[in-house]
């Protein structure tokens, strides 16, 4: 129920921002989300007893996502620079035994959250809406398909409720959405969009499973409680993080 309510506010807000929002606001929101995900990623590591960089780090890490609004050269530069700033902070840290943990968790968060999220900024709004439609359709059909027909567990250790049948239903949903939305919004033809739907649906499900694996590995249920019923931003955007680079390559290579 809480989940439905958040979705009822969240989905229209995202769609409106994507279509009508000014570019700077979109970049700001994407970077802000990346900062929140970095915080969650650090907390997952902290749950396994790993020291983390200071409170300032997620804000600095968001700059890596924002750099995608300029170009890839800037992305690499900001990534290198933030890494060096973090490493320098380690030199002057109070407790030497925390330095390696903190550097390691910090850098990993930069890539898993900021770099992957950055590809979202590269997509024009029509492509991003298509991508979101593919992911949402896949998620929904996986959920209801799994409830209706689910019998064989997909990855019982990582995500006990997911089934092979649900995964297949999700792929069908993603392909249908890709065809229906992609042809209209992107002017693409049927076959490429069917392939894109299959690819994005598959990669999105892997992103979803990966994030579940990380949570389970950390021994926590939710990566944060920012979104009620959604288990954290990282949990909500896990498919998007993996699907965005793939869709970018699909469209622009």
Contacting positions for its own copies (CB under 8 A): 44-45, 48, 50, 71-73, 75-77, 79-81, 83-84, 87-88, 90-93, 96-101, 103-108, 110-112, 115-116, 118-119, 155, 157-158, 203, 206-207, 209-210, 213-214, 216-219, 242, 245, 249
Closest separation between CB of residue 231 and its own copies, Å?
16
Residue owning tokens 């990669």? 203
Q: Looking at beta carbons only, is 146 or 207 nearer to its own copies? A: 207
Closest separation between CB of residue 55 and its own copies, Å?
19
Q: Looking at beta carbons only, is 87 or 183 nearer to its own copies? A: 87
- For residues 82 and 61, the answer to whether their CB atoms sit within 8 Å is yes
Q: Looking at beta carbons only, is 24 or 72 nearer to its own copies? A: 72
Residue owning tokens 């902290």? 46
Closest separation between CB of residue 74 and its own copies, Å?
8
Q: Looking at beta carbons only, is 89 or 183 nearer to its own copies? A: 89
Q: Looking at beta carbons only, is 156 or 228 nearer to its own copies? A: 156
Closest separation between CB of residue 190 and its own copies, Å?
27
Closest separation between CB of residue 241 and its own copies, Å?
9
Q: Looking at beta carbons only, is 17 or 81 nearer to its own copies? A: 81
Residue 241 vs residues 22, 37, 153, 192, 207: alpha-carbon distances, Å? 22, 11, 24, 21, 7
Joined tokens for residue 139 = 């998620």
Closest separation between CB of residue 68 and its own copies, Å?
8
Q: Looking at beta carbons only, is 181 or 199 nearer to its own copies? A: 199
- DSSP string of the chain, one letter each residue: -HHHHHHHHHHHHHHHHHHHS-HHHHHHHHHHHHHHHHHHHHHHHHHTT-----TTHHHHHHHHHHGGGT-HHHHHHHHHHHHHHHHHHHHT-S-GGGHHHHHHHHHHHIIIIIIHHHHHHHS-HHHHHHHHHHHHHHHHHHHHHHHHH--SEEETTTEEEEEHHHHHHHHHHHHHHHHHHHHHHH---HHHHHHHHHHHHHHHHHHHHHHHHHHHHHT-S-S-SSSTTTT-HHHHHHHHHHHHHHHHHHHH-
Closest separation between CB of residue 177 and its own copies, Å?
22
């Amino acid at each position: 129920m809480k989940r439905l309510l958040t979705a009822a506010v969240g989905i229209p807000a995202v769609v409106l921002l994507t279509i009508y929002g000014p570019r700077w606001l979109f970049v700001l929101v994407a970077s802000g989300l990346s900062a929140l995900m970095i915080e969650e990623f650090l907390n997952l590591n902290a749950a396994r007893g790993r020291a983390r960089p200071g409170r300032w780090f997620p804000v600095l890490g968001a700059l890596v996502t924002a750099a995608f609004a300029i170009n890839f050269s800037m992305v690499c530069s900001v990534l290198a620079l933030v890494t060096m700033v973090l490493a320098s902070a380690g030199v002057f840290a109070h407790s030497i035994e925390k330095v390696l943990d903190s550097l390691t968790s910090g850098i990993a968060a930069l890539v898993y959250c900021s770099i992957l999220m950055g590809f979202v900024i590269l997509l024009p709004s029509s492509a991003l809406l298509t991508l979101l439609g593919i992911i949402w359709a896949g998620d929904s059909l996986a959920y209801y398909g799994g409830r209706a027909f689910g019998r064989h567990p997909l990855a019982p250790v990582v995500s006990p409720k997911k089934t092979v049948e649900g995964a297949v239903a999700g792929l069908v949903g993603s392909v249908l959405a890709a065809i229906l939305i992609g042809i209209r919004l992107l002017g693409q033809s049927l076959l490429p969009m069917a392939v894109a739907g299959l690819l994005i649906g598959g990669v999105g499900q892997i992103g979803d499973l990966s994030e579940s694996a990380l949570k389970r590995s950390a021994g926590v249920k939710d990566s944060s409680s920012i979104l009620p019923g959604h288990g954290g931003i990282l949990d909500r955007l896990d498919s998007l993080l993996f699907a965005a680079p793939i869709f970018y390559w699909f469209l622009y290579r």
